[in-house]
Structure 1
Amino acid sequence: MADETKQSRATTGKDSGGPPSPGFTSEVMSAVAGLLSGTRSFYIIFSLSLVTIVIASVVSLDAMRIGFHNAYNVTREIQWGLIISTYIFFVVTSTGLCIVSAIGHVFGMKDFMPIVNRAVFLSVVTIFAGFTVIFFDLENPFRMGIYQVISPNFASNLWWMGTLYGAYMIFMAIEFIFILLHKHKIAYYAALAGLISGIAAHSNLGAIFGMLTGREFWYGPYMPIYFIASAAMSGGAAIILFTVLGYKINNEVIDAPMKRALEAVSKLTALMIAVILFFTTWKIITGLVGTAGKKDVLMAMLTGPYALNFWGFEVLIGMVIPFALLLGSRFRNVKISFLASILMIIGIFIMRYDLVVLGQVVPAFQELGVIEARELNTYLPSFHEMMITVAGLGIVAAAFLLGERVFKGHKSGH
């Protein structure tokens, strides 16, 4: 019996510490063959993604050439704009994908296992896209990276954000590599480390907003919790979207295990929508009895210039309609879940934008009666800012398409 066990482990190469099966060379050759076996439509879409990245990158580099103060529409009053909200959109989605994958890979929920590989891969892709986007918002990104290491400021939330997200990306990349190598024990510990660092990083990101006492719309202890809950919602929507797209790209029919996985993720996503609706409701109720500055922000969101963003995109498209679709389908209709995920991604992107901008629209000196501070601050993204956002989206699209071909639909998670 012992000899049979040894022989079995030697054959599979899994969890034994031995070399993976098949060998590394054959895995590389198989990946190359998979990339070269795409359809014409695949190569057209992939080429368009690459062209988008190139064009957007040229415009982004032009912003560095002419100077950020000339290229971006951010001002002294509104210093965080579309680039910051896009960065948050990507890192929130990445953390959510990590949480969804950890439910299967770390906590052993079998229904989630078929989506683990794709979720881990996309978590690395989206965090990389987030870092790429914010790279163009920093005047001296290379200097920041150097001083992040040689001159740490442990009292700074921004320092912790960079450090924790950097560790998170490394752990998630290690997890994906060792999943491919069938070293599941190492991949498990990397997944656990990635989950811990990801949640720590993301709650710290929420704390960056929640600890700004001068911005009443953001200030409060609920922000780190809100960020984690919204991350799980974003991750659920993203994995549904990319999984269905992956099967369409590979021209395959979704099998029974994957249908069960999508059903489980749909249930989790619906739960997180309900949680975010709960948070949003009480944010409005408590804000309306708060200070004058916070009420001004809420009125701008509820009935003012940002009402369409809030009611149309955040509430209806981002939460209410997807929630109704998921409940109405009893989480079993893949097409309806796919439609709900598309609506959610659109609504969540606007949600991140509103979160960042609305916190800055009330002038800091308004409550002091300064005449120049009576009106709300205004902001409209510049062409350069929009193209940097397009560059990030192009990176995610190109990497997703490449991953589907190279890793053959991420099916080893079954």
Structure 2
Amino acid sequence: MAETREAVIGRELAIAPSKANTWLALIFGLIFAVGTAVGIYGFIAGHEHVFGITREVPWGVLISTYVFFVVTSTGLCLTSSIGHVFGVKSLMPIASRSVFLAIATILSGFAVIAFELENPWRMAIYNIISPNLTSNIWWMGTLYGAYLFFMLVEFALLKMGHHRKAGLAGLMGVIAGVAAHSNLGAVFGLVGAKEFWHGPYMPIYFIASAMMSGGAAIIFFTWLAYKVNGWEIDAKTRKALEVTGKIYALLLAIVMFFTTWKIIAGLAGQPPGKYEATMALIAGPYAFNFWFFEIGLGLVLPFVVILAVKARNIPAMAIVSGLALLSIFVMRYDLVVVGQIVPHYEGLGIVDMPHLYHYSPTFLEWLVVLGGFGLCGMLFFMGERLFRGHLDEH
């Protein structure tokens, strides 16, 4: 039997966002404002004076943060599409929040990359008037623009109740997201001069790790929304999170497989460039990042916990998912930086050529990164307030 209008209004009032939700939106908004101010200062003072990047290591923490956000966004899109696009009804209760989070994370990624580029407005202008169809980066920008457009259309249609049309827009978003994200993997995988990145598996790895990130984000942010606002998770949402937890565990196993063979490929036969980078990752200056964050907190811990609780303990899964998101951020940082630290002529005995280049983000770089997370957090909590917990009135 359909709910009466009074019943729907009463249910909406019963889960009105808390004051804590509003305060958190304001706090994250302030963090975003600080990061924006630092990013604008970088345009004025010059990136070489504000950020820690060099000619030898031109891609730093802002690039890895951009990768983190767009990977998470694509993962949210792909995971949520299993429900309302491909008809798996058990996942439909998380669709609206997941699509909104996909929009929030892609916008946060765009904000960070805008401050990393010295002239971001040129990208928008010349993307249209002077397209380079042979450039992976041109395709990345174009496809992610299309992806954002379809996500916005899909979310608007969901809120208007046009679920069939929203499913079609979501399908277009999935196609654009997969194309954009596999292309992002190709930006790294097709760089022959950087052996640590080079290889045909990178686009596939990016898609698998994106869905892993999306699963973790859905579990953590859904639980966080209910926790902050003092709501009780209803049976349908709980079931959706349990199914998401099982999907997340499967993707963790897949990424473990990819990671294992990535290390083996970097060590077997000591391939020049790839071997030095791999050793720096597993037994060098980035070993703690790799073993503690990437492997321990990012893969093993959530996999073991989800199996132990049989994907039924939502708080336990949410906590390990939050830790995994932190670890995935470190994973993206290691991927971007370690791929650049091996000198191109390393091992040839060139005078004054270091064994590994050094990169360390500056304090101002970290503020821009925090600004990106501030934007994401602000949009998330604003969404919870504006859309009253993303109620599915159907």
Q: Give the TM-score normalised by structure 2.
A: 0.95
- 1:207 equivalent to 2:179? Answer no
Deviates more, 1:46-55 or 1:100-109: 46-55
How far 1:249 sits from its partner (Å)? 2.6
How far 1:186 sits from its partner (Å)? 1.8
Aligned AA (1:103)? I
- Answer yes or no: is the 8 Å Cα contact 2:189–2:200 preserved in 1: yes
Q: How many residues align?
A: 388
Query: Which residue of the partner structure matches residue 60 of structure 2?
Result: 81
How far 1:408 sits from its partner (Å)? 0.9
Output the CA distance in 2 between the equivalents of 1:351 and 1:373. Answer: 27
Query: Which residue of the partner structure matches residue 296 of structure 1?
Result: 276
- Answer yes or no: is the 8 Å Cα contact 1:115–1:413 preserved in 2: no
Query: Which residue of the partner structure matches residue 316 of structure 1?
Result: 296
Output the CA distance in 2 between the equivalents of 1:205 and 1:214. Answer: 17
Query: Which residue of the partner structure matches residue 203 of structure 2?
Result: 224
1:382 to 342, 350, 362: 362
Output the CA distance in 2 between the equivalents of 1:340 and 1:413. Answer: 31
Aligned AA (1:255)? D
Deviates more, 1:339-348 or 1:83-92: 339-348
- 1:244 equivalent to 2:235? Answer no
- Answer yes or no: is the 8 Å Cα contact 1:216–1:359 preserved in 2: yes
Aligned AA (1:407)? F
Aligned AA (1:286)? A
Query: Which residue of the partner structure matches residue 168 of structure 1?
Result: 147
2:308 to 308, 325, 328: 328
CA-to-partner distance for each residue in 1:51-101, whole Å, 9 max, x for gaps?
111122111111111001111111111010000000000000000000011
Query: Which residue of the partner structure matches residue 26 of structure 2?
Result: 47
Output the CA distance in 1 between the equivalents of 2:284 and 2:206. Answer: 25
Query: Which residue of the partner structure matches residue 8 of structure 1?
Result: none
How far 1:354 sits from its partner (Å)? 0.1
How far 1:293 sits from its partner (Å)? 1.6
How far 1:413 sits from its partner (Å)? 7.2
- Answer yes or no: is the 8 Å Cα contact 1:113–1:413 preserved in 2: no
Output the CA distance in 2 between the equivalents of 1:240 and 1:218. Answer: 30
Deviates more, 1:397-406 or 1:180-189: 180-189
Output the CA distance in 1 between the equivalents of 2:64 and 2:354. Answer: 26
1:256 to 214, 230, 235: 235
Query: Which residue of the partner structure matches residue 168 of structure 2?
Result: 189
Output the CA distance in 2 between the equivalents of 1:404 and 1:152. Answer: 39
Query: Which residue of the partner structure matches residue 273 of structure 1?
Result: 252
Aligned AA (2:103)? V
- 1:104 equivalent to 2:64? Answer no
How far 1:184 sits from its partner (Å)? 1.9
How far 1:371 sits from its partner (Å)? 2.5
- Answer yes or no: is the 8 Å Cα contact 1:300–1:306 preserved in 2: yes
- Answer yes or no: is the 8 Å Cα contact 2:22–2:385 preserved in 1: no
Structure 2: where are the runs of 5+ without partners? Answer: none
Query: Which residue of the partner structure matches residue 345 of structure 1?
Result: 325
Output the CA distance in 2 between the equivalents of 1:201 and 1:367. Answer: 36
Query: Which residue of the partner structure matches residue 370 of structure 1?
Result: 350
Q: Give the TM-score normalised by structure 1.
A: 0.90
Output the CA distance in 2 between the equivalents of 1:107 and 1:40. Answer: 37
Aligned AA (1:394)? G
- Answer yes or no: is the 8 Å Cα contact 2:196–2:277 preserved in 1: yes
Partner SS, residue 215 of structure 1:
coil
Output the CA distance in 2 between the equivalents of 1:233 and 1:43. Answer: 29
Partner SS, residue 411 of structure 1:
coil
Query: Which residue of the partner structure matches residue 394 of structure 1?
Result: 374
1:360 to 330, 340, 346: 340
Structure 1: where are the runs of 5+ without partners? Answer: 1-10, 13-21, 23-29
Segments ≥4 residues shifted beyond 6 Å? none
Partner SS, residue 88 of structure 1:
helix
- Answer yes or no: is the 8 Å Cα contact 1:226–1:276 preserved in 2: yes
How far 1:367 sits from its partner (Å)? 4.1
How far 1:49 sits from its partner (Å)? 1.2
Output the CA distance in 2 between the equivalents of 1:188 and 1:69. Answer: 45
Partner SS, residue 368 of structure 1:
coil
Output the CA distance in 1 between the equivalents of 2:22 and 2:101. Answer: 20
Map 1:12-23; keep pairs closer than 5 Å: none
Q: Cα RMSD between the aligned structures?
A: 2.1
1:92 to 61, 71, 74: 71
Output the CA distance in 1 between the equivalents of 2:151 and 2:393. Answer: 15
Partner SS, residue 373 of structure 1:
coil
Query: Which residue of the partner structure matches residue 26 of structure 1?
Result: none
Map 1:53-68; keep pairs closer than 5 Å: 53-68=32-47
How far 1:375 sits from its partner (Å)? 1.7
CA-to-partner distance for each residue in 1:306-363, whole Å, 9 max, x for gaps?
0000001000011101110000000001111111111110110000000000000100
Deviates more, 1:144-153 or 1:366-375: 366-375
Output the CA distance in 1 between the equivalents of 2:198 and 2:37. Answer: 37
Query: Which residue of the partner structure matches residue 177 of structure 1?
Result: 156
Output the CA distance in 2 between the equivalents of 1:374 and 1:263. Answer: 50
Aligned AA (1:207)? A
Deviates more, 1:305-314 or 1:60-69: 60-69
